[in-house]
Amino acid sequence: MAQIHNSSTVAAVLFDLDGTLLDTAPDMTNALNMLLEEEGKEPLSYEYCRDYVSHGSIAMVTLGFGHPQKDKQNTDEFESRRLRFLDLYEQNLCVDTKLFVGMDETLLFLEEQGIQWGIVTNKPEFLTLPLLEQMQLHNRACSIVSGDTIPQRKPDPEPLYLAANQCGCLVTECIYVGDAERDIEAGNRANMKTLLASYGYIDDEQRPIEWGANGAVETPEEILDWLW
């Protein structure tokens, strides 16, 4: 595809993964419900689980089984469940996962305009890369930085510095889009323009208005309004 360069001051748009680029909540909820079924417990609804997905495996297992007690036996039991949850999720990574509505058109527009896009996530690489391969997105991204690519994770800005470097651009030429407080904090610390993905996984107890993003988008297409 021919690249059409324009007057945009943005060289790259970087995305968080879960709740920003991809709607992974259905498959993560399914994995949790498989684990609950194995232990003879009732399943949880997608609506109940959705807004906790961005917080990862600890939050999901806590949602299903409650907070672990501080003694060793309960801590070990919780960790065993967490690992089993990840195993079940890994086996069913891309059953119902999809791009958020409008994201495909947004990515295509960026590519047509010669604006690169990449991914910076706290999701571990053993889940991130196979998922992006199954979604046929891995060869399109200028950078894929997972939660264990380097020792630092968001809200540390280092993963965003790495992504900008891999995309061959300055941090001040990047937009970072995310649906969690750590995303906005990392982007701000990296001196990137930050956008809150309001369509993502944000529960009622969070106060995103206080996170300090440069702006918020209700749909992926609204990201394009920030390119100029």
Write phi, then psi, for 13 (nearest 5 degrees). Answer: -115, 125
Give the C-alpha separation, 145 to 156, whole Å: 13
Question: Choosing from 16, 51, 179, 183, which is the catalytic residue?
Answer: 16
DSSP 27-76: HHHHHHHHHHHHTT-----HHHHGGGGGGHHHHHHHHHH-PPPSSHHHHH
CA torsion 28→30→36→40, rounded to 10°?
A: -170
Cα angle 21, 55, 95 (rounded to 5 degrees) comes to 50
* 27 carries an active-site annotation: no
Encoded amino acid at 128, one letter: T
User: Catalytic residue positions?
Assistant: 16
